[in-house]
């Protein structure tokens, strides 16, 4: 597609369940970022992938959060044993070469009941 694609757009889950969020970046973009935005707040950095380099995981809030990027393209953010405080919009962005101009997807809204 022409833009960054994220799925699902909405996810409602029960506390304690695992969730996977997917990001398909713009074709040819080497850098991929995950951010989190809680209601009414700014964007919180989670993780950054650049080419084949080791990812910058410095923003992951706990060991329940992990992410991978397969083949330098699609990325999956996994949250294990979800908690209510994990409820937020999870935003993915890509850039042609990192760091550079970011292009965001529409986000995945996660609600943990």
Partner 1 sequence: GIQVEQSPPDLILQEGANSTLRCNFSDSVNNLQWFHQNPWGQLINLFYIPSGTKQNGRLSATTVATERYSLLYISSSQTTDSGVYFCAGANAGKSTFGDGTTLTVKP
Question: Any contact of residue 91 with partner 1 (CB under 8 A)?
Answer: yes
Minimum CB distance to partner 1, residue 48 (Å)? 5
- Rounded to whole angstroms, the Cα distance separating 11 from 59 reads 22
How far is residue 12 from each of residues 2, 24, 78, 86, 105, measured CA to CA in Å? 27, 21, 14, 11, 19
Site for partner 1 in 45-64 (CB under 8 A): 45, 48, 50, 56, 58-59
| Interacting residue ranges for partner 1, rule: CB under 8 A | 33, 35, 37, 41-43, 45, 48, 50, 56, 58-59, 89, 91, 98-104, 106-107
């Amino acid at each position: 597609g022409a833009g960054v694609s994220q799925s699902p757009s909405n996810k409602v889950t029960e506390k304690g369940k695992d969730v996977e969020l997917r990001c398909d970046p713009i074709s040819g973009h080497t850098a991929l970022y995950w951010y989190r935005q809680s209601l009414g707040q700014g964007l919180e950095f989670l993780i950054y992938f650049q080419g084949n380099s080791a990812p910058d995981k410095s923003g992951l809030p706990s060991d329940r959060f992990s992410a991978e990027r397969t083949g330098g393209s699609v990325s999956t953010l996994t949250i294990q044993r979800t908690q209510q405080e994990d409820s937020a919009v999870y935003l993915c962005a890509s850039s042609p070469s990192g760091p550079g101009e970011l292009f965001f997807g529409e986000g995945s809204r996660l609600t943990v009941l």
